[in-house]
Chains A and B, each alone.
Chain A
Amino acid sequence: MSELINLSLTDQILGLGDKAFSSKEITGAYLNEIKKKESLNCFISVFEEESEEKALIADENIAKNKARPLEGIPIAHKDIFCIKDKKTTCGSKMLSNFISPYSSEVFSKLDTAGAITLGKTNMDEFAMGSSNETSFYGNVLNPINEKLSPGGSSGGSAAAVRANLCSFATATDTGGSIRQPASFCGVTGIKPTYGRVSRWGMIAFASSLDQAGIIAKNAKDAAIALKYMSGFDQKDSTSLNEEVKDLQKEVDADQEHVIGIPKGLIENIKNDQVRDSFKNAISILEKDGAKIEEINLPHIEYSLPAYYVIAPAECSANLARYDGIRFGHRSESVSSLEDLYVNSRTEGFGKEVKNRIFIGTFCLSAGYYDAFYNKALKIRNLIKSDFDEAFKKVSSIAMPTCSNSSFELGSISDPVEMYEQDIYTIPANLAGLPALSIPSGTADEMPIGLQLIGNYLEEGRILNLANKFQKLTDFHEFK
C-alpha cells in the first residue's frame, strides 16, 4: 500500500470517493511510514489507535455516501495548534506537560471536514527559529539530505509532507515559517492573508504577524486544504468577516496575471543559482502569457530590522503569561513568588526564546520605546503603503523564497545570519499579505522556492499562478 502515500490530496479524495482504496488502508500506510522514518524526528506525538478508529468511521461514512469533503484524509498538525485532551508542546520544555483543555479552530474545522489527525509535528520552540534546531525535542532532519536543515519553524510539517508521512500538514508563518521550510524541503506552502484563518487555539508568538496556513505537495492540494481551514471566527478578534472563496475552483480557473518584480531585486540576489532559477521561473510564466512589470518597493530593505523589533516586542508580551502558576513548567526549587516566576521561566524557555524575550523587553522598556518599537511600527506603515501602491498595477509579486537552499545543521550560530534567512519572506507578514512558496529549481543540489505574494484576500490568484507553473514544470514532483 506504499503507493497510496505517494498520491496527492486531490487523487486521494478521488480514490476514496471511487472506493479504489479505503481510509483504513491509506491511514495504515502513513502510520507504517511514520514508524519507518521515525529518525527524521518529524513528529512530537502520533495518535495511532485514534487514527485507525477514525479511519473506520470514515470508511463507513463513504460507504453510506455521507462523506464530508476531506473524509478519511490523514493529515498532521503543527504542534502549535491545541487539540482538546492532547499534549500541545509548541516545541518547548515550558509546555511539555500541557494537555490542552480545548481545540484550536484550525483543528476543529479540518476535523469537521473529515480529516484524520495522525499526529503533531515538530517545530522550533514557540515558532522562533529558521532551522528547527531550537526545538526542545531535537531538530527535524531534511528528508532529502539528512545532514541538512528542513528549515523552520514549521520544519516538522514540511519534512512530513516531503517524506510522505501525511497528505498535507498545517503550519504557521510569522516571518516565513511556512515558506522557508517549504522551500528547503521542495514542497508547496501558503500563508494566507492575516485574519483569513482563525488564530483561536494557536499558541501566540507575535499576534499581529502570526498566521496559520498549509504545507502540501502542490498548489492544487494547498487550495483544497486552505479552503476548509479558512473563514470568520468570532473567537478570534482579528478574524476577517469576509466570504471564503472557492479556492478549489479558482486554482484551475482561466486567469490573467500581471507579475511585479521589485526594482533591483534580481541584481541583488547573491547566490548565482538562486538568481538563475528565479529568472528561469519568471520567463516560464512570461512565455505562458503572464505580463511582467517592474515595481518599486523602496522600503523593503527595512523589513528585517522592523520585524526584529516588532516580533520580539510582541513575543515578550505574549510569553509573559508563562509564570509557572496556572499551566506550563513550574520550577521545583522555589522559596518566594519571585523565585516561582524567575525559576520557572529560566528553566522552561530555551536560548533563542530567551534572546527574543530579552530583545523585546529591551525595545519596549522606558527610554527605548520610541527609538525602537514606535519607529518599527512607522516603517511597517511605509512597507504596507509600498505594497498597496504596487498592487495598483500588478496582480502578484514574485521574489525568491530564500536567498539560499538548505544549510547544514549546526552551521549557523550568529543570530543575525539566521534571521537573514527570512529576508524575502518577512515583508508579506508585516503587510499581512498572502504569500506562497513553490519549488522552482535547485541550488547545491537542494530545492529552492519561488515566492508569490498576492493582494489582500487573493490567495486564489497566487494559487492559480502557482498551479499554472506546476503544470508547466516538474520541480514539485518528488524524485
Chain B
Amino acid sequence: MKITEQDLKNISLLSKIKIDEETSDSLVKDLESILTMVNKMDELDTSKINPLTHPIDNTQNLREDIEKKDIEREKLQELSKEKDSGFYLTPKVIE
C-alpha cells in the first residue's frame, strides 16, 4: 500500500504531530511496510462476522450515584504550567 504526500499531510493534521521533511521518507517506508503486513487481513472474508470491540462480554460497571469528592481540583491543576483562578490558560484563540 502506498502512502501519498496528501496522506502524510492528513495524518499530521489529524494527529497534531509535525512530520519532519528530513525524516518523512523513512516514515513513509515504515508506514508502508506496516500497512503491507496489515493487508494480510484481506485474505479473509469477514462479511458475515460481527466486530468484537472488547474481549470480555461484560456490562459496564456503574457505581451508586452518590456524591464523591475524590478529585481535588487544586492538586490536579498543580500539574499545569499555565493556570489562573482555577482555569487552564492557552494562547489566545479570539483576537
A interface residues with partner B (beta carbon < 8 Å): 98-99, 101-102, 193-195, 208-209, 234, 236-241, 299, 301-302, 304-306, 308-309, 316, 323, 325-327, 330, 334-343, 345-346, 349, 354-355, 357-359, 361-363, 365, 372, 374-382, 384, 414-416, 419, 430-433, 456
Alpha-carbon gap, A381 to B7, bound state (A): 29
B interface residues with partner A (beta carbon < 8 Å): 3, 7, 10-11, 14-18, 27, 30-31, 33-44, 46, 49-56, 58, 60-61, 63, 70, 72, 75-82, 88, 90-91, 93
Dominant secondary structure at the B interface: loop
- Between B49, B77, B93, the greatest number of chain A beta carbons within 10 A of the residue's beta carbon is seen for B49
Alpha-carbon gap, A193 to B56, bound state (A): 9
When A and B form their complex, what is the total count of cross-chain residue pairs whose Cβ atoms lie within 8 Å? Answer: 166
Q: Are B44 and A302 in contact (CB under 8 A)?
A: yes
Closest to A415 in B: B30
The minimal Cβ–Cβ distance linking A202 to chain B, given in whole angstroms, is: 17
Alpha-carbon gap, A326 to B89, bound state (A): 9
Q: Are A361 and B37 in contact (CB under 8 A)?
A: no
Q: Are B41 and A361 in contact (CB under 8 A)?
A: no
Closest 9 CB pairs of A and B: A432-B55, A377-B51, A381-B52, A327-B79, A378-B46, A378-B49, A346-B18, A341-B16, A361-B15
Q: Are B90 and A337 in contact (CB under 8 A)?
A: yes
The minimal Cβ–Cβ distance linking B49 to chain A, given in whole angstroms, is: 4
Q: Are B37 and A304 in contact (CB under 8 A)?
A: yes
- Between A326, A340, A355, A384, the greatest number of chain B beta carbons within 10 A of the residue's beta carbon is seen for A326
Q: Are B37 and A101 in contact (CB under 8 A)?
A: no
Alpha-carbon gap, A163 to B75, bound state (A): 37
The minimal Cβ–Cβ distance linking A431 to chain B, given in whole angstroms, is: 6
Q: Are B41 and A380 in contact (CB under 8 A)?
A: no
List 6 A–B pairs whose Cβ atoms lie within 8 Å, in order of A's numbering: A336-B91, A358-B17, A361-B15, A376-B41, A380-B52, A432-B55
Closest to A356 in B: B34
- Between B33, B39, B79, B88, the greatest number of chain A beta carbons within 10 A of the residue's beta carbon is seen for B79
Alpha-carbon gap, A240 to B42, bound state (A): 34
Instruction: Indicate whether A381 sits within 8 Å of B44 (C-beta atoms), given known contacts A361-B14, A456-B56.
Output: no
Q: Are B17 and A354 in contact (CB under 8 A)?
A: yes
Alpha-carbon gap, A354 to B27, bound state (A): 10
Closest to A101 in B: B75
Chain A residues within 8 Å of B30, by CB: 355, 415
Q: Are B44 and A382 in contact (CB under 8 A)?
A: yes
Q: Are A361 and B11 in contact (CB under 8 A)?
A: yes
Instruction: Indicate whether A362 sits within 8 Å of B7 (C-beta atoms), given known contacts A238-B56, A384-B52, A431-B55.
Output: yes
Dominant secondary structure at the A interface: helix
| One of B15, B17, B61, B77 near A237 (C-beta < 8 A) | B61
Chain B residues within 8 Å of A195, by CB: 56, 58
Chain A residues within 8 Å of B18, by CB: 342-343, 346
Chain A residues within 8 Å of B80, by CB: 325-327, 330
Q: Are B34 and A415 in contact (CB under 8 A)?
A: yes
Q: Are A305 and B41 in contact (CB under 8 A)?
A: yes
Chain A residues within 8 Å of B38, by CB: 305, 308-309, 363, 372, 376
| One of B55, B75, B91 near A208 (C-beta < 8 A) | B55
Q: Are A365 and B10 in contact (CB under 8 A)?
A: yes
| One of A234, A305, A325, A341 near B37 (C-beta < 8 A) | A305
Chain A residues within 8 Å of B33, by CB: 414-416
| One of A326, A378, A430 near B51 (C-beta < 8 A) | A378
Q: Are A342 and B17 in contact (CB under 8 A)?
A: yes
Alpha-carbon gap, A365 to B38, bound state (A): 16
| One of B10, B46, B90 near A325 (C-beta < 8 A) | B90
Alpha-carbon gap, A308 to B33, bound state (A): 12
Chain A residues within 8 Å of B49, by CB: 378-379, 381-382
Chain A residues within 8 Å of B3, by CB: 362
Alpha-carbon gap, A432 to B42, bound state (A): 24
Alpha-carbon gap, A357 to B33, bound state (A): 16
The minimal Cβ–Cβ distance linking B50 to chain A, given in whole angstroms, is: 6
Alpha-carbon gap, A299 to B61, bound state (A): 31
What 16 new A-B contacts, CB under 8 Å, besides A326-B77, A375-B42, A377-B52? A99-B79, A101-B72, A195-B58, A299-B44, A325-B80, A327-B76, A338-B16, A346-B18, A361-B14, A362-B3, A362-B7, A378-B49, A381-B49, A381-B52, A415-B34, A416-B33
